[in-house]
Amino acid sequence: MNKIGESSVVILVLHSPREKCWGVLDDVTAAGIFIRGIDLNSFDDWMRSVVNNEVFIGPADQFFPMWRVERMTRDESSMGVPSLQEQFEQKTGRSIFDF
């Protein structure tokens, strides 16, 4: 199994306020985590916009201070359920790395 590293697709769970983000990991430092991502609540709307060639607010470069990070996990398929990255690429026919 590979470690979570640069260019890994991850899900961040944050607190204060409670929030979940999905995106491509840029860097992890003592200060915090840098990702190019989107709020998980907006993921389906963003995917639909890409499929329908509509205007959308997509992933953006974000920094989260380490004190807010509760957990970071790799976006992986599990028990036959495709990862969010796989779902996006299957439905849109595009790579998330295009964004």
| pLDDT over threshold 80, residue 1 | no
If we measure between CA atoms, which residue out of 39, 42, 41, 11 comes closest to residue 24? 11
Band (93; pLDDT cuts 50, 70, 90): very high
Q: φ, ψ for residue 23 (rounded to 5)?
A: 175, -170
Band (30; pLDDT cuts 50, 70, 90): very high
pLDDT confidence of residue 17: 93
Domains parsed from the chain with CATH numbers = 9-92 (2.30.30)
CA atoms within 13 A on the CB side of 98: 9
Give the model confidence (pLDDT) of 37-88 as tens digits. 999 999 999 999 999 999 888 899 999 999 999 999 999 999 999 999 999 9
Give the model confidence (pLDDT) of 9-22 as tens digits. 999 999 999 999 99
